[in-house]
Structure 1
Amino acid sequence: MIIGLTIVAMGSSAPEIMVAATASFNGNTDTAVGNALGSNITNIALVLGLTALLKPLSIASSTLKKEMPVLLLVTLLAVYFLSDFLLLKIEGIILITLFFVVIGGLTWISFHMEKGDPLQPETENEIPSGVTTSRAVMWLIVGMILLPLSAYFMVDSAEVIARYFGLSELVIGLTIIAIGTSLPELAACIAGVLKNEDDLALGNIIGSNIFNILAVLAMPGLIAPGVVDENAATRDSYVMLALTILLIVFSFNLKGSRCINRIEGLCLITCFGAYQFLLFS
């Protein structure tokens, strides 16, 4: 669970962070904001919905009780920051500061977990074996080179598509870029459930969404603060909040089963389809 909330989530959120930074440097604040909000919407409604359709997600770790309130709080914070149609530098500083606070808190939890946690054997099996330090450093360098390059081409191509079809930068960030940068989360979730590690899959979604708000949304605030599209505040941020609440309800339903089943997964996918229809109608 901790691996899902930290290492896996940070790794799969790296594209969103880099794309948001690239868009912000290009002055496309709405694209960066749309990427942050759209990625969270996509992670819950599409990625988690597809994963639950593949295999119902049982929620076995009590850690979720601690992390889901954090996700709800940071989501409410994002809604509040965008409510005045502005994303200020001070708000970006607050978000990135909270990002490091959350990382520190999750690290502290990982070192103070109770012994005998049922997830310990599963998470230990996730640690790669036989990988030398030199090989790990090599792939780290390759990733650090390719990630900003791919982010540059993605943002540049999205701008061309937006101009051709007459779409706003916000909609492009909410759709094409958000779905594209959420593919790592989809891969991580499917891999998790296929290995019967449901908490790893769900932890990846929760962690990624927390990091998307605190780190990805911080990028336009830090790099290109200013006015944001009012639709981001009056429509998209509330869709993100509603889906976050729906995730919590599905995870801790009144029957106490603590399981996201296929019907609930289908409901999430339906919500995603309805949201896409709303964007393009």
Structure 2
Amino acid sequence: MLLATAAMTIGIALLVWGADRFVDGAASVAKNLRVPPMVIGLTIVSLGTSLPEMIVAAMAAMDGNRDLGIGNVLGSNIANIGLVLGITALIIPLTVQSMTLRREIPVLFLVTFLAFALLADGALSQIDGAILAIGLVLMLFWISRIAMRDRHDPMIEEFTESIPEKMDMKSSILWFVAGLIVLMVSSRMVVWGAVEIAHFLGVSDLIIGLTIVAVGTSLPELVASVASAVKGEADLAVGNVIGSNMFNLLAVLAMPGLLAPGIFAPEALLRDFPIMIAFTIALLAVSFGFKVGGRITRIEGGLLACGFFAYLFLLYIQS
């Protein structure tokens, strides 16, 4: 138990570090290839916050632990809204101005219900995984179109500023490869540690994926959102959460389908998916629904955080 806990803790820390190095390297390679900064910010940088979930889900799927990967997706999306956005708004209220976000939230709902429809039969097949992967490609294309058209959107400007400084091509490739290797090794540590802890505690892989692994792999979103909010980049803080949740449902959820298709734990569909949808509706409500100006207050942030901890308590009671 002690070794498994240490492996998972160190693995999560390395996941966060490796994801940062991977994104820095990939963004610098793209800069050297003269890819527009707005496209880099809205694709590579956004995808980077979902890399820990993606690699963990892939490793878990290759080990046949599809429930761990699915739990990681659903738990991370709930944590992104309840924990990440809730704590960020508690620290500093968030004013949402970006028209890009107003277009992305309906797309998030579309992606959410697409994933729900694919999982409704109680199994995640390779066809389901392929559909999600195609959806990811289409979403990246759509986001790139927005980036090229709305050049003065506040969120796009904030994303552009978040891109790391340009490095020479050799250093960029070095960081890219180093980050990828660290991601692979650390994700293996996380998956092994999580499975060992689940067996020791007598709980399912799904519960571990929904809780410990989900919160751990959501740390990049928490760090990025709080840092953005402190710098006055509220649109970027909310955009990190929305973008990460869409990438999780498309890129991360595709991994178990493509690599380990089959039946998953029914609780994921009957309990966790509806709760994730409820949190997504709450995101819409606090961002744009009940007032003019799109401001997420400290009270609303506190309610989101309380909702997340209530969900953890529900999992504790049921397990």
Bin of the TM-score, shorter chain as denominator length: over 0.9
Letter in 2 for 1:212: N
Q: Is the 8 A contact 1:2 1:203 kept in 2?
A: no
Q: Distance in 1 between matches of 2:281 and 2:77?
A: 12
Aligned length: 280
Write the letter of the residue equivalent to 1:51.
T
Partner of 2:287: 251
Distance between the aligned counterparts of 1:133 and 1:248, measured in 2? 41
Out of 242, 245, 255, the position equivalent to 1:219 is 255
Letter in 2 for 1:279: L
**TM-superposed deviation, 1:64:** 1.2
CA contact (8 A) 2:71 2:210 kept: yes
Distance 2:158 2:220 in 1: 20
Which residue of the partner structure matches residue 173 of structure 2? 137
Q: Which moved more, 1:133-142 or 1:55-64?
A: 133-142
1:41 aligned onto 2:78: yes
Cα offset, 1:128, TM superposition: 3.1
Q: Would the aligned equivalents of 1:95 and 1:215 in 2 still touch at CA under 8 Å?
A: yes
1:134 offset after TM fit, Å?
A: 2.2
Residues 32, 121 of structure 1: alpha-carbon distance in 2 compared, 3 angstrom cutoff: closer
1:267 matched to 2:278: no
- Displacement after TM superposition at 1:65 (Å): 1.5
Partner SS, residue 75 of structure 1: helix
> C-alpha distance in 2, partners of 1:76/1:211?
14
Partners of 2:40 and 2:83 in 1: how far apart?
A: 22
Query: In the TM superposition, what is the alpha-carbon distance from 1:7 to its structure 2 partner?
Result: 2.8
1:10 and 2:51 correspond? no
The 1:199/1:164 distance shift into structure 2, 3 A limit, reads same
Q: Distance in 2 between matches of 1:197 and 1:124?
A: 12
CA 1:2–1:65 in 2, change beyond 3 Å: closer, same or farther? farther
Q: Considering Cα pairs closer than 8 Å and 6+ residues apart, tell me whether 1 or 2 has the greater RCO.
A: 1
**2:265 alignment counterpart:** 229
**In the alignment, is the contact (CA less than 8 A) between 1:4 and 1:203 conserved in 2?**
no
Amino acid at match of 1:162: A
**Cα 1:130–1:69, aligned 2, differ >3 Å: closer, same or farther?**
closer
How much has 1:88 moved relative to structure 2?
1.4
Note if 1:152 corresponds to 2:184: no
Counterpart position of 2:21: none
Match of 1:199 in 2: 235
TM-fit CA distance, 1:122: 3.9
Structure 2 equivalent of residue 108 of structure 1: 145
User: Residue 46 and residue 257 in structure 1: after superposition, are their counterparts in 2 closer, same or farther (change >3 A)?
Assistant: same
Gaps of 5+ in 2: 1-37
Distance in 1 (alpha carbons) for counterparts of 2:248 and 2:161: 27
Residue 78 (structure 1) aligns with: 115
Distance in 2 of aligned mates of 1:123 and 1:221: 31
Aligned counterparts of 2:41 and 2:277: Cα–Cα separation in 1: 22
The alpha-carbon distance between structure 1 residues 270 and 69, as it changes in their structure 2 partners (threshold 3 A), is same
Contact 2:47 2:244 (8 Å CA) reproduced? yes
* Equivalent runs, 1:24-35 vs 2, <5 Å: 24-35=61-72
Q: What RMSD over aligned residues (CA atoms) do the two structures have, in Å?
A: 1.6
What amino acid maps onto 2:120 in structure 1? S
Cα gap change, 1:122/1:213 in structure 2, threshold over 3 Å: closer, same or farther?
A: closer
In structure 2, give the amino acid aligned to 1:234. L
Q: Which deviates the most, 90-99 or 131-140?
A: 131-140
Is the contact made by 1:88 and 1:221 (CA closer than 8 Å) also made in structure 2?
A: yes
Is the Cα–Cα contact under 8 Å of residues 41 and 162 in structure 2 kept in the other structure? no
TM-score between the two structures when normalised by the length of structure 2: 0.84
Residue of structure 2 in register with 1:170 after alignment: 206
Q: Deviations over 1:164-220 (max 9, x none)?
A: 100101000001110111111111111111111111111111010000000111111
| TM-score between both structures, scaled by the size of structure 1 | 0.95
Q: Which amino acid aligns with 1:257?
A: G
Unaligned runs of 5+ in 1: none
Do the aligned partners of residues 242 and 96 (structure 1) sit closer, same or farther apart at CA in structure 2, a change above 3 Å counting? same
Aligned equivalent of 1:183: 219
Q: Verify the 8 A CA contact 2:80 2:245 in the aligned structure 1.
A: yes
> Matched residues in 2 for 1:154 and 1:120: separation?
33
Percent identical pairs in the alignment equals 49
CA-to-partner distance for each residue in 1:230-279, whole Å, 9 max, x for gaps?
00000000111000011001111322131111101000011111100110
Quick one: structure 1 residues 130 and 108, their matched pair in 2 at CA, closer, same or farther if it must change by over 3 Å? closer
